[in-house]
Amino acid sequence: MAPTTPPAEAVAPAAVRRHRIDDWRPEDPEFWRTTGAPIARRNLWVSIFAEHVGFSVWSLWSVTVLFLGPEYGIDPAGKFLLTAVPAALGAALRLPYTLAVARFGGRTWTIVSALLLLVPAVPMTVLLEPGVSYSTLMVLACLTGVGGGNFASSMANINLFYPSRLKGRALGLNAGGGNLGVPAVQLVGLAVLATAGAAYPRLVPAVYLPLIVLAALIAARGLDDISGARNEPGALREAARDPHTWIVSLLYVGTFGSFIGFCFAFGQVLQLQFAERFPTPVDAVWLTFLGPLVGSLVRPVGGHLADRLGGARVTFWNFVAMAAGASLVLHAARERSFGLYLLGFLSLFVFSGIGNGSTYKMIPAIFRARATAEVDAGRREAVAAQHRAGRMTGSVIGIAGAVGASGGVLVNIAFRQSFLTGGSADAAYVAFIVAYALCFGVTWLVYLRPGPRRLTGV
């Protein structure tokens, strides 16, 4: 943070007017009460809206593929690739987007990242019609991945504004509001299908063009840059050498990766598994949004449960529940029971949403526990240990977010390969069960198994 010289009351009004804050001390109770809280709340609500629009653009192809009828000449395997590539680019962009906040400023980067959403949205509005080549569709689908990076920069920015005791709630609201962009875009798709019909897929991205511009304008008006934010040299390299980084990243692949992967694939899978029940896209879309909706709404519940019961314990039982949900989906698919199938899939959305929150909360707990152990053992001074814990937490959140989002690619590739080789999604469901079993096994072995090396409080 930048050095503090003038009192908060003298600095804050000028800083807000020019959207640059040079004196920011959220951990100071008096500063927070008199100056910090209103500024932080304003930045939070603006950030939620901008991230929400970004998530919607990232998820455009989860509904767009339902418009691509026989006249487009694309088989189910090709459609699963169209929903995999946005997840891939979104995962790749999460780490640089995280670093961009400190490099350019949260307000500045939110404006830039919002305007970048026009890069996929404008050409989709122009080019989506029968006769467009598959390679063009692949490029357009990949470009929507820019919306996936917005989550990482938004979370990194809001993390700067809140004191430690309030970060969990603020980040939960920010993440949940952003995740709601998935069901929102699917409801937009439903509205277009119900009114204009399947012949007009270009209307879905067209709806978001004014919203993208509005997000950039509101960010310019309502957000602030904190001048003291810095990317610590060597922090990412240090985090990359720590085994806990990759363990937590694996768990986040299982939770967030499942959530975003199912969001992108659910509509297609419904149409393929129960073609007789969903003969047209509009028949599928009215159900497609339910899973992402409940998964987004319960994300803060995972963080709350982790606060009360411990992140590792909640994550362990959450993966057990996800394995059970995938088993129910597999059984229902084989028995052709739509009611059980829908129940099982909705449970996967619910538990992947809870797991998003609990796994994220594990990250600071892991490094706080290690800092306490180092201080108790006399290996590090308390101030140095806490500084390292904060440094590692920020870096691991960025890495885990990027790696976790790649799970969305794996889910869609698993469905694609399963339908290609077996004509059904059964093999994909078996793969999900094995993956969730691996995740709850790793969680127990590393964080819950009794022993002298167990981290207390994770």
Angle (deg, nearest 10), helices 382-405 and 146-161? 160
**Could you tell me the CA-to-CA distances from 201 to 15, 69, 127, 289 in Å, in that order?**
44, 11, 10, 17
- CB atoms near residue 264 (< 10 Å): 29
Percentage of residues in the chain with pLDDT exceeding 90? Answer: 45
b/e per residue 359-396 (b: at least 16 CB within 10 A):
bbbbbbbbbbbbbbbbbeeeebeeeebbebbbbbbbbb
**Could you tell me the CA-to-CA distances from 433 to 85, 264, 374, 440 in Å, in that order?**
24, 19, 37, 11
**Could you tell me the CA-to-CA distances from 391 to 100, 115, 192, 198 in Å, in that order?**
16, 30, 46, 49
13 pLDDT band (50/70/90 cuts)? very low
- Token representation of residue 205: 């991205």
Kindly give, in sequence order, each residue whose CB lies less than 8 Å from that of residue 257, ignoring residues fewer than 6 positions away.
404, 405, 406, 407, 408, 410, 411
Cα(48)–Cα(175) distance, rounded to whole angstroms? 8
Helix (H, G, I), strand (E, B) or coil at 155: helix
pLDDT: which is higher, 382 or 59: 59
User: Quick one: pLDDT at residue 173?
Assistant: 84
Supply the DSSP symbol for 400: H
The yes-or-no verdict on residue 167 having pLDDT over 80 is no
- Token representation of residue 119: 């890069």
pTM metric for this prediction? 0.85
Which helix (H) or strand (E) covers residue 21, if one does? strand 20-21
- Average pLDDT rounded to a whole number, residues 106-110: 92
The yes-or-no verdict on residue 12 having pLDDT over 50 is no
User: Quick one: pLDDT at residue 17?
Assistant: 46
Q: Where are the beta strands (DSSP E) in 86-154?
A: none
User: Quick one: pLDDT at residue 5?
Assistant: 39
Helix (H, G, I), strand (E, B) or coil at 162: coil
Cα(260)–Cα(407) distance, rounded to whole angstroms? 8
Question: Using one digit for the tens of pLDDT, what is the confidence trace for 424-445?
Answer: 899 999 999 999 999 999 999 9
The yes-or-no verdict on residue 297 having pLDDT over 90 is no
The yes-or-no verdict on residue 408 having pLDDT over 70 is yes
User: Quick one: pLDDT at residue 296?
Assistant: 85
Query: Among 34-38, 143-147, 199-203, 388-392, where is mean pLDDT lowest?
Result: 388-392
Decide: residue 207, CB within 10 A, 0-12 exposed, 13-18 middle, 19+ buried: middle
Cα(409)–Cα(80) distance, rounded to whole angstroms? 9
Query: Among 12-16, 162-166, 185-189, where is mean pLDDT lowest?
Result: 12-16
User: Quick one: pLDDT at residue 26?
Assistant: 85
The yes-or-no verdict on residue 230 having pLDDT over 90 is no
Cα(34)–Cα(21) distance, rounded to whole angstroms? 15
Query: Among 258-262, 269-273, 283-287, 396-400, where is mean pLDDT lowest?
Result: 283-287
123 pLDDT band (50/70/90 cuts)? very high
- Average pLDDT rounded to a whole number, residues 18-44: 88
How much is the mean pLDDT over the chain?
A: 87
